[in-house]
Amino acid sequence: MTSNGTQDQGRPKDDFAARERVRFNQWKDAGYFSRSEGRGEYAQHPFTITIPPPNITGFLHMGHALNDTIQDTCIRRARMQGYRTRWVLGTDHAGIATQTKVDKKLAEEGISRLQIGREAFIEECWKWRAQYGSTIVNQIKGMGCSVDYDDEHFTLDPDYVDAVRKLFVDWYHDGIIYRGKRIVNWCPHCTTAIADDEAEYVDEAGHLWYLRYPLTEPVDGMDHIVVATTRPETMLGDTGVAVSPSDESKKALVGKTVKLPLVDREIPIFSDYHVDASFGTGFVKVTPSHDPNDWAMGERNGLPRINVFDETAHVVEGYGRFSGMSRDEAREAIVAEFDALGLLEKVEDHPHSVMTCYRCHTKLEPWESEQWFVAVDRLKEEAARVVEDGSIRFHPARWKRVYLDWLENLKDWCISRQLWWGHRIPVFYCDECGWEDASVANIEVCPKCGKPVRQDEDVLDTWFSSQLWPFAILGWTIDGTESPELKEVYPTQVLSTARDIMGLWVARMVMASTYCTGQIPFEHVIIHPTVMGADGKPMSKSRGNGVDPLRLMEDYGADGMRFGLLMQVTGGQDLRFNESKLESSRNFANKVRNAARFVGMHLDGYEPGAPEPTTPADKWIFSRLAKLVARLDDLYAEFEFGDIARELYAFFWNEYCDWYIEFSKSRLDESADPADRLACQRNLMFVLDQAIRLLHPVMPFVTEDIYQELPFDRSQAPYLIGAAWPSASELSRFADDEAERAIDMVCEVVTGVRSTRARYGISPKEPLALAVKASEEDSRLLGAQSALISAMANASDLAISADAQKPAQAAAVLGSGIEVYVALAGLVDFDAERARLEKERAKLEKDAEKLGKKLANEGYLAKAAPEIIEKDRAKHADALDRIARIDVQLAELA
């Protein structure tokens, strides 16, 4: 497929899904997705991940695709390491989202939930879940995710309901949960409260209306004041006007009153430190029931509270012709009335942010309502401590500060929702005698007077129930005892999630877990990048920049999508999605297949046996492999998935395929020495075996195919998913810096000669005379490989020494500490060669200047990691060195 998703010309479409489905079912049927038994040094160590439960209304999107790839990569590697692994699956009931879906379905049938009643509506929700709730789970299967599908959980399972009710009851009796009248964010469309963290801010081109409020009695010749407001429709509920205590010009008005227009209510003028004297006119209309700041000022100054809107944001009875109007209608009518009365002084443009519902995107209404709240102060301290002391680590580390800042500023949490689908609040009331209590079990009659009781009508915020997720699905039970599984595997090891729910979910899981279990819920929190559109903006249908991961898997295969996504991860920066990276990763998967196919085609007479690196090329690839495993282990420890993918790509494509297989071809020829041929076969198979193990967590399907198709030793693991992860300590015996230096220089020489041929159009069959200038030690190492260089570069003559001179009419290629001279007499235009060197010098000079400025920046030096700074210094020094050598060459050409 091309970058826009169209089929490449002439290439048949590959049915990835059919091939991948076979492997997936084999893994699942063999039991690899269930709790593994463990082996080796990690046999007694659990490695558990609980999937962030997707909503039953959801479909797989790019954020899911990246997050699920990260989790599957972690669990597959841990399984191969020998941990007792399990990735726990489950879905969330998604209160508002599901109720909205079912409301819409009923509306299409010509009925409403109010007509059919609560019980019938909940039945309809369960039917909807049965029909659509597993959609995203099936899509996760398509990615090859090794989740425990045989033990799926749901946030409305009976055991989970009991756990949620137990936590509510415990907090209720502990005084952490309370009911009270407060300003909440109210959605007039969903007719429910919304938590502060769930509100989305949208920029709006609004206005600032300047309204005159007549003074009850003139003051110093003034008969009115002017208030500036962005919401004139709420003036019906004004109960005061505030000024700043620091505003000397208004001190004489403090304690006076104004006559509120339209409603003829006398309200006081008072001072409060919250008022910004520079905003508007310095007079602030105060509507305690419709603004959280006004609520606080009203509390401090004893103002009455008046709710002027109903639950659908229409003006309530008692306000004449305004009653029954929507907010927008009331605004227009009130402004017109002020204008007609001569009380509208002016209107100014005033862009500002408004809060909207995260589900339906309706503007939220700050609204006084009686709700249930969690008093978070008693929970915050422990949730902060376990992060500050390193018990829980964030990756990237900068999110630790964000988490702690969020906790510090956290206010009491409104947990009641005016819905029917969800966890009903377990509080029971007796209207006869006034008894009230919270209970895990349902209560039918009042224990005090014996009369029937009623249960609270509201349900709990979905985030309240999901905060129990990591321990409730592992057996945290109704009586508070720990299940065997909870004792055995808790806390879990890894949580991978998006940054936008770090407060909504991550912090609340920490608060709930430390309270309920006395333990942290997870050891590591990965905050993965947000996948943005190619235009750098958040993906959305309205922008038309969204990408369907199901289409990507169809075009590139699950392996291609997974690897291509990780290749685009750079630290914690947002990921600007580039589909061409998936083309590269699909090509990489094909490269892996072709390399394995080449090895398989040259196994005539192969007999399994221990690898034995005898040639410098063998020693080079074995040393590179050993160091790769050690690097990957370090990168996995810090969850640097982008670097993991790039390291794998570089090793397999560049080192194993492009070079080691090339070095091996002559040794695999039928005329080659049989013993050396067998040794080469064994080495090729060994390195391929280790490489596909390293690749497997990221690209599970292609690597499993190779494992099954070639004669690897499968006696210990019939499937690659259960094979052992390569051991860095065992492979360390192959580390050989001298062999690496020798073959790295061979590669540089051959690459330089090949690039020179390509640049000047010289046939590979044309022998060339070469001279290589290197240090005494490098000359010794290269000299030992002269036959290999001559064969790979088709050299008719090869001279290697520390004092090698550039022949007349020769091209020079600069390497790392070496110079390669290619004799081109009669073959090339030297004026063009001079131009090429000048162009290369200009580029190096630009790079050196850029690096020089970067290294002179004190801010960069203070913030960047030491190893990154050292790499930049090395690049800078290398660029300056190359510039100096080019200057010498240009002088010679002149």
Q: What is the mean pLDDT of the chain?
A: 92
Mean pLDDT for 11-29 is: 85
Q: What is the mean pLDDT of residues 517-535?
A: 93
One domain, residues 583 and 698: yes
Q: Where residue 881 sits, what CATH number does that domain have? A: 1.10.287.380
Using the 8-state DSSP alphabet, how is residue 283 labeled?
A: -
Residues facing residue 222 across a β-bridge? 219
pLDDT above 60 for 5:
no
> How far is residue 730's CA from residue 722's CA, in Å, rounded to a whole number?
19
Rg (CA), the chain: 35
- Boundary residue ending a domain (307, 341, 356): 356
Domain contains 820:
no
Whether 131 shows a pLDDT value over 80: the answer reads yes
| Cα–Cα dist 620/655, whole Å | 10
Per-residue pLDDT, 182? 86
Contact present, 30 and 719 (Cβ < 8 Å): yes
Average of per-residue pLDDT across 649-663 = 96
Residue 227, domain member (yes or no):
yes
For residues 256 and 219, is the Cβ–Cβ distance under 8 A?
A: yes
Cβ atoms 632, 647 nearer than 8 A: yes
Count of H helices and E strands in the chain?
A: 29, 28
Residue 398 has pLDDT above 70, yes or no: yes
3-state secondary structure of 259: strand
- 37-47 burial: b if 16+ Cβ within 10 Å, else e: ebbeebeeebb
Residue from 69, 74, 73, 76 nearest 32 by CA: 76
pLDDT on residue 7? 42
- For residue 40, give every residue at least 6 positions away whose Cβ sits within 8 Å of its Cβ, in sequence order, or none: 81, 82, 724
Structure token digits, residue 160: 């989970």
- Does the residue 88 lie in any domain? no
Instruction: Report the pLDDT value the prediction gives residue 500, as an integer from 0 to 100.
Output: 86
This prediction has a pTM of 0.83
pLDDT, position 279: 84
Cis status of the peptide bond prior to 396, with omega within 30 of 0: yes
pLDDT score, position 9: 43
pLDDT for residue 358: 73
Sheet of strand 84-91, all strands in order from the earlier edge strand to the far edge: 148-154, 84-91, 46-50, 492-498, 522-528, 393-395
Q: What are phi and psi of 416, to 5 degrees?
A: -95, 140
pLDDT (0 to 100) of residue 1:
35
Q: Is residue 239 part of a domain?
A: yes
Q: The CATH number of the domain where 323 resides is what?
A: 3.90.740.10
pLDDT tens per residue, range 212-235? 999 999 998 899 999 999 999 999
For the stretch 238-289, pLDDT in tens is: 999 999 999 999 999 999 999 999 999 999 999 999 898 888 899 999 999 9
Boundary residue ending a domain (735, 756, 779): 735
- Each residue of 98-126: pLDDT tens digit? 998 999 999 999 999 989 999 999 999 99
Helix axes 62-81, 135-142, angle to 10 degrees: 60
Q: How far is CA 822 from CA 639, 776, 796, in A?
A: 45, 20, 11
Asked if 694 contacts 726 with a C-beta cutoff of 8 angstroms, the reply is yes
| Shared domain check, 718 and 605 | yes
Count of domains observed in the chain: 3
Nearest to 144 by CA among 562, 455, 450: 562
**H-state helical runs in 638-699:** 641-649, 661-668, 674-695
343 and 210 in one domain?
yes
pLDDT at 889 over 90: no
Write out pLDDT tens, residues 843-866: 999 999 999 999 999 888 888 887
Token output for 414: 């409104």
Q: What confidence score (pLDDT) does residue 6 get?
A: 37
State the Cα torsion 354-356-362-363 to the nearest 10°: -30
Residue 3 has pLDDT above 60, yes or no: no
- One domain, residues 731 and 833: no
Mean pLDDT of 610-623: 96
Q: Name the burial class of residue 286, with classes exposed (0-12), middle (13-18) and buried (19+) by CB atoms within 10 angstroms of its CB.
A: buried
846 assigned to a ligand binding site: no
Claim to verify: residue 856 and residue 720 sit in the same structural domain: no
Q: Are residues 729 and 834 in the same domain?
A: no
Answer yes or no: is 766 within a domain.
no
Mean pLDDT within 667-691: 95
Tokens of 400: 């630790």
Residue 139: name the closest of 496, 538, 561, 506 by CA. 561
Q: What is the mean pLDDT of residues 735-739?
A: 96
Tally of CB atoms within 10 A around 634 = 13
- Find all residues with CB under 8 Å of 391, minimum gap 6, and list them: 520, 523
Q: Vertex 850, ends 847 and 854: CA angle to 5°?
A: 135
Helix/strand/coil for 350: strand
Q: Taking a C-beta distance cutoff of 8 angstroms, is the pair 823, 762 a contact?
A: no
Span 543-601, pLDDT tens digits: 777 889 999 999 999 999 999 999 999 877 888 888 888 999 999 999 999 999 999 99
Give the residue from 493, 512, 281, 470 showing the smallest Cα distance to 383: 512
| Beta pairing, strands 257-260 & 265-271 | antiparallel
Residue 856: which domain range? 829-894
Q: Which two tokens stand for residue 800?
A: 């290697």
Q: If you write DSSP's letter for every residue of 806-833 in order, what string do you get?
A: PPSSEEEEE-SS-EEEEE-TTTS-HHHH
Contacts by 167-175, CB closer than 8 A, 24 or more apart: 167/468, 167/512, 167/515, 167/516, 168/425, 168/426, 168/438, 168/460, 168/464, 169/426, 169/438, 169/439, 169/440, 170/515, 170/516, 171/374, 171/515, 172/427, 172/438, 173/438, 175/375
pLDDT band of 483, cuts 50, 70, 90: confident
Q: Which of 356, 384, 402 is the last residue of a domain?
A: 356
Question: Is residue 481's pLDDT more than 70?
Answer: no
pLDDT of residue 453: 97
> pLDDT tens digits, residue range 779-805?
999 999 999 999 999 999 999 999 998
User: In the numeric block, which tokens belong to residue 600?
Assistant: 């398989």
Tell me what percent of the residues of the chain surpass a pLDDT of 70. 97
Q: Is 243:254 a contact under the CB 8 Å cutoff?
A: yes
Place of tokens 């709420």: 234
Cα 27 to Cα 721: distance, rounded to the nearest angstrom? 8
- Residue 362 gets which letter from DSSP? P
Q: Answer yes or no: do 834 and 698 share one domain.
A: no
The sheet with strand 454-455 has its strands ordered as: 436-438, 427-429, 454-455
CATH number, position 599: 1.10.730.10
Quick one: pLDDT band at residue 807, thresholds 50, 70, 90? confident
Query: In this structure, is residue 617 part of a structural domain?
Result: yes
Question: Cα–Cα distance between 760 and 290 in angstroms, integer?
Answer: 77
Question: How far apart, in Å, are the Cα atoms of 97 and each of 58, 93, 803?
Answer: 9, 9, 76
State whether 729 and 844 are in the same domain: no
User: Are residues 723 and 850 both part of a single domain?
Assistant: no
Percent of the chain with pLDDT over 90: 75
Environment class of residue 783 by beta-carbon count within 10 Å: exposed (0-12), middle (13-18) or buried (19+)? middle
Could you report the per-residue pLDDT of 39-62, keeping only the tens digit for each?
Answer: 999 999 999 999 999 999 988 899
Q: Does the pLDDT value for residue 812 go beyond 90?
A: no
Statement to judge: residues 222 and 348 lie in one domain? yes
DSSP class of residue 237 equals: G
> Where is average pLDDT lowest: 93-102, 572-581, 763-772?
572-581
Picking from 32, 78, 19, 89, the residue whose alpha carbon sits closest to that of residue 558 is 19
Helices in 697-829 by DSSP H: which ranges? Answer: 700-709, 728-731, 737-760, 776-783, 786-793
DSSP H or E run through 16: helix 16-29
753, part of any domain: no
10 pLDDT above the threshold of 60: no
Co-location of 705 and 571 in the same domain = yes
Cβ atoms of 286 and 244 within 8 Å: the answer is: no
**Predicted pLDDT of residue 543:** 74
**What average pLDDT does range 6-13 have in this prediction?**
46
Please give the pLDDT value at position 861: 87
Residue 594 within a domain: yes
Residues 712 and 851 in one domain: no
Task: Give me the residue label for tokens 């074995």.
Answer: 622
